[in-house]
Amino acid sequence: MNIALMNIGFLRITIVDVLDILMVAAVIYIAFKWIKGSAAFNIFIAILSLLLLRFLVNVMNMKMMSALLGTVIDIGTVALVVIFQPEIRRFLFNLGRKAFNGRDSLLRKFFRQDPTALSAVSIDEVVQACFEMGEQKVGALIVIPHQASLEDIISTGDIVDAHISKRLIENIFFKNSPLHDGAMIINEDKIVAARCTLPISDRTDIPARFGMRHKAAIGVSERYDVSVIVVSEQTGRISFISEGKISPVDNVNTLKLLISDDKSKNGSEDRL
């Protein structure tokens, strides 16, 4: 039984109507926040405009126009799956990742899925290599997976399967090395692969000062549960990227902390 909150002429508003409006508003807000800054944003605005127009023609009882818009929207639903495929995939991935977050997650316990972690020795080797490469302005791109296996990305590069060491990392990213171009995947205290190809982010709000390495790092961090370290070849600056967010790194201890726990915030995060 619906209780009317108010009656304005022919308009009767109930509690269910208010909840319905709030839920629709929440869905629109989440969708807006979800695709803001992406190439699909303009399409999203166009869809909202069509839905609003259809609502208006229904209220005005314009049957032919309503039928036409209904057909367009019905056919367009199939096309939306194709158009928004990257955004849908990212949304579902983030939803699943949040379900696994935390050591006490019931889903993690059920599937017995624990995050992989680097030892303190390996972290120290990676950090020292990054800062030395930064001083020499040697570009580097290092991916550290958590729950994700990254088998599809590893298959695009060359298997290394060697223990993590500062010298080996520097040799791989040395400008004349055949493995320097691309990303390095490290996991469980080993350099798994090098010269791997990463997906490039399709976001349009990435500042121009960030090059292709940063765009690749943002892209892989949006699609997989990973952290990424980028050493800029132009400036020598080091950045730590997780979940599409860039944190500039100024010192060794900050980078060690970020690698150990990518949920840590150093107060200088550059949100994109």
pLDDT digits (tens, 9 = 90+) for 148-176: 678 889 999 999 999 999 999 999 999 88
Give the angle subtended at the CA of 122 by the CAs of 220 and 215, to the nearest 5°.
Answer: 20
Residue 256 pLDDT > 70: yes
Class of domain 120-260: alpha beta
Q: Please tell me the predicted confidence (pLDDT) of residue 64.
A: 83
- Quote the CA–CA distance of 270 and 255 in Å, as a whole number: 15
Q: What band does 231 get if pLDDT is binned at 50, 70 and 90? A: very high
Residue 70's pLDDT band (boundaries 50, 70, 90)? confident
Q: How confident is the model at residue 196 (pLDDT cuts 50, 70, 90)?
A: very high
Query: Residue holding tokens 């915030």?
Result: 265
Confidence of residue 104 (pLDDT cuts 50, 70, 90): very low
Higher pLDDT, 93 or 65: 65
Residues 147 and 100: beta-carbon distance below 8 Å: yes
Q: Quick one: which of 211, 244, 241, 210 has its CA closest to 227?
A: 241
Looking at per-residue pLDDT, the higher value among 88 and 199 belongs to: 199
pTM of the model: 0.63
Indicate the pairing of strand 158-163 with strand 11-14: unpaired
Which residue spans of the chain are classified as CATH 3.40.1700.10?
A: 120-260
Q: Report in angstroms the alpha-carbon separations of 46 from 49, 91, 121.
A: 5, 21, 53
Q: Please tell me the predicted confidence (pLDDT) of residue 87.
A: 65
Q: What is the pLDDT of residue 269?
A: 46
Provide, rounded to the nearest whole percent, the portion of the chain with pLDDT above 90.
33
Q: Is the pLDDT of residue 80 over 80?
A: no
Query: How does residue 218 score in pLDDT terms, banded at 50, 70 and 90?
Result: very high
Three-class SS of residue 225? coil
